[in-house]
Chains A and B, each alone.
Chain A
Amino acid sequence: MTTDVGPPPARPGALRQSQKEATRQRVLDAARELFDTNGYQGTTIREIARLAQVSVGSVFTTFASKGEILSEVMQARLDPLYAELDRVVPHLRGSTADRLRTMFAIHFEFEARQVRLFLSHIAAAYDWTLSPEAKPFGRNLRFPQIIRGILQGGVERGDVRPDVDLQEVLVLLVAAYAWTYRLVVTSDADAKAMIAVMDRQIGLIAEGFAPRA
């Protein structure tokens, strides 16, 4: 195989390293495309290898499972999203419910661009061949932390009851969020439709955490 990546490296080890990185990137690009088109079950490592123009063996030297490839794809996409969220959070105003609505709306808009990819991410959680390194939906801790921070802020602002179990509220919100994507499966919903449903769900959960009158 020839390579035209940059100037000749000083050490053979470094060349191998950059070839490995190029392969890895090609695999991730191919996987992102296939998961978004064919879903999780509909995508095989063999097809990923074919589209990336690498051997099946070389995919397996880098990744332990299909689920791990998807986790890497998602991770690479999510890093910029979380960087954006970190910038947005300090500027949020209004009620806790409205702050939550903004946070989830940003997620829906972001994921709806490649929505089958996100459905694959959810489906991967139930995969039998998942390796321990894989992080399907539900095992990423960053997002729950952000939501929890907003709820905690609500307790301080006084529109979240201090005696409510924030963990349970968080679990309900994340469940509502994930399950709203079923609208894509059942009726091809777009981001706007999902956000409208989520806004109402957040309103209903907010009634459950509002201070008693």
Chain B
Amino acid sequence: MKHISPIQVAADAPARAPTRRALAKQQTRQKVLAAARRLFSEQGYEGATIRDIAAAAGMSTGAVFANFTDKSDLFREIMTDDMEALLAAMRDAAVRGRNAEDGVLKAFMAGYTFYKSRLQLARAAFSVSWDKDGGPSLRGLPSSLSFQDVFTDLLNAAVERGELSQEAEVKLRAQMLFDTYLSNFPQAIFEGWSLDALQARARDQIRILLAGARRG
């Protein structure tokens, strides 16, 4: 890839391009985020301190605070990035399903696959999600709330196709599917379950949860 220096960019499009300073700031942010991601994964949310994160990023704590309000801000930013990427992957997977059951299973697997390489970060997120202060804020993120919509949309589409009954209680069922998806993570995190093992369990669970929604 051809390297374009910030100055060239600025010269080409003076009105819209970021200034050199803005680019430097952006680079600093990325460096902090990468260091934070690593430390949260290694030491958990509680264990990682801003001071350690700053040291790992090779900068002062002041420089970190110039970019992020506090540790929870940093964590939310990392989680938002991941959740947005995962949401897109889940939506793609869901529409590739042969039917509702298969679509739900594919959405589950998109999530387990995405987090396979970052289970320790997932672990930190679960820990925060049950926290008095961190929990409401993490669970209230727009991307966090959108996961359930993946399942709601999937079930609604199946109702429209006539595959599931009109009385399928879509909202409750979507919520339970999402909770069930989450509840299998401890097996992956602590017991080293493979994607195949997770898939086998998820398939049975989804079948049970959709049984009452079938037509006829």
**A125-161 to B contact mask, C-beta < 8 Å, 1/0:** 1111100000000100000000000000000000000
Q: How far is the CB of B188 from chain A (nearest CB, A)?
A: 13
B182 interface hit (Cβ, 8 Å): yes
Query: Among B39-47, B49-57, B80-88, which stretch is in contact with chain A?
Result: B39-47
B45 neighbours in A (Cβ, 8 Å): 41
B18 neighbours in A (Cβ, 8 Å): none
In contact, B208 and A205 (Cβ under 8 angstroms):
yes
A82 interface hit (Cβ, 8 Å): no
Q: How far is the CB of B143 from chain A (nearest CB, A)?
A: 15
In contact, A182 and B139 (Cβ under 8 angstroms):
yes
A165 neighbours in B (Cβ, 8 Å): 204
B124-177 contacts to A (CB < 8 Å): 124, 126-136, 139-140, 169, 172-173, 176
Instruction: Decide: A128 near B47, CB < 8 A? Known: A42-B131, A179-B182, A186-B136.
Output: yes
Instruction: Decide: A175 near B139, CB < 8 A? Known: A40-B130, A127-B127.
Output: no
Instruction: Decide: A205 near B209, CB < 8 A? Known: A123-B127, A126-B123, A165-B204.
Output: yes
Cα of A123 to Cα of B205 in the assembled complex, Å: 24
B179 neighbours in A (Cβ, 8 Å): 175-176, 179, 182
A164 interface hit (Cβ, 8 Å): yes
Name A204's contact: one of B131, B176, B186, B189 (CB within 8 Å): B176
A155-209 contacts to B (CB < 8 Å): 164-165, 168-169, 171-172, 174-176, 178-179, 182, 185-186, 200-201, 204-205, 207-209
Name B134's contact: one of A41, A128, A171 (CB within 8 Å): A41
In contact, A168 and B136 (Cβ under 8 angstroms):
no
Nearest chain-B residue to A203 (Cβ)?
B212
B172 neighbours in A (Cβ, 8 Å): 200-201, 204
In contact, B44 and A172 (Cβ under 8 angstroms):
no
Helix, strand, loop or mixed for chain A's interface?
helix
**A40-67 to B contact mask, C-beta < 8 Å, 1/0:** 1110000000000000000000000000
Q: Interface size for chain A: under 10, 10 to 19, 20 to 34, or 35 or more residues?
A: 35 or more
Q: How far is the CB of A32 from chain B (nearest CB, A)?
A: 16
Q: How far is the CB of A70 from chain B (nearest CB, A)?
A: 13
B124 neighbours in A (Cβ, 8 Å): 126
**B11-34 to A contact mask, C-beta < 8 Å, 1/0:** 000000000000000000000000
B195 interface hit (Cβ, 8 Å): no
A100 interface hit (Cβ, 8 Å): no
Name B132's contact: one of A116, A129, A164, A175 (CB within 8 Å): A116
In contact, A185 and B135 (Cβ under 8 angstroms):
yes
**Among all A-B residue pairs, the 10 with the closest Cβ atoms:** A207-B212, A208-B208, A175-B183, A126-B127, A128-B44, A39-B132, A123-B130, A179-B179, A208-B211, A185-B135
What are 27 A-to-B residue pairs whose CB atoms are below 8 Å? A39-B130, A40-B131, A41-B128, A119-B130, A119-B132, A123-B131, A126-B127, A128-B43, A129-B47, A165-B204, A171-B205, A172-B205, A179-B179, A179-B182, A182-B179, A185-B129, A186-B135, A200-B169, A201-B172, A204-B173, A204-B176, A204-B212, A205-B208, A207-B213, A208-B209, A208-B211, A209-B208
Chain B residues in the interface with A (C-beta under 8 A): 43-47, 123-124, 126-136, 139-140, 169, 172-173, 176, 179-180, 182-183, 186, 189, 201, 204-205, 207-213
